[in-house]
Amino acid sequence: MRTQCSKLLPMALVALLAACATAPTGRSQFILVSDADMDRMGASAFDQIKAGGKLAKDPARQRQLRCITDALVAVLPPEHRGKAWEVVLVQDDNPNAFALPGGKVGVHTGLFKVATDQDQLAAVVGHELGHVVSRHAAERVSQQFAAETALNVLNSATGGERQQLLGLLGVGAQAGVLLPFSRRHESEADLLGQRYMAQAGFDPQAAATVWENMVRATGGNRVPAFLSTHPDPEARIKVLRASAPGLMATRDQARTAGRRPNCR
């Protein structure tokens, strides 16, 4: 199978080599924008969300989310641990969450209806951190724009172009507008998030449980936003359930090493 990069051979060789990257899963990626530019864009999107007046005032849940995020960030690759991670609770009944480049995490209040304990919440936050570590937003920006267009938009980031760019990050101008990543990206984020959970001392079995809860919460009438990019939600759950036993030893090692999250 040809990689994304091999499909771009007509481009100048130097540009091609600069654009080729590798995801944590080993998959070849085509990325034209720098991490610094993506961090700046993520911070801009996060500022818009906070300015929208939809932040929830719930100190207990905010502390719990901070605790969970800190535990997960502590096991991320070194270049991500040093960021000034910021976490907000968004007043929105949709069970959803997001993480943006630059260390920005948002969780909807509606998520607490389906994620009923710290491990299930960690599964969702870990999934979103998987998107960030895998540079999925940068990959989507690069696929959408040619190099010159992408850089021009990043530098201007105003008006309609700004809204389009925020959409590529996976979040619209309003906190409640979350746009799905591709199926491949979602699958990568699922498995990376579950791995981070185990490394941080959370129960990796909760990853399948929270998605089961999401499907159950809809009564089978519609697919939840988190599952919308997959053709078969049950297949996604099956993969997470099957991978959990192999991660239990990792979780036990983490707890033996003192990583015992207590984010109640």
Q: CA–CA separation, 84 vs 49, rounded Å?
A: 18
b/e per residue 233-243 (b: at least 16 CB within 10 A): beebbebbbeb
Longest Cα–Cα distance in the chain = 55
Residues paired with 97 in a beta bridge: 107
Residue 86 appears among annotated catalytic residues = no
- Catalytic residue, from 128, 139, 186, 188: name it: 128
Residue 195 dihedral angles phi and psi, to the nearest 5°: -65, -45
Residue from 242, 255, 240 nearest 202 by CA: 255
Q: How far apart are CA 109 and CA 65, in angstroms?
A: 11
92: closest CA among 56, 118, 60? 56
Contact, 139 vs 170, CB < 8 A? no
**How far is it, in rounded angstroms, from Cα 95 to Cα 92?**
8
- Give the span between the Cα atoms of 96 and 49, in whole angstroms: 14
The number of C-alpha atoms within 13 Å of 59 and in the hemisphere containing its C-beta is 0
Q: Which residues have a catalytic role annotated?
A: 128
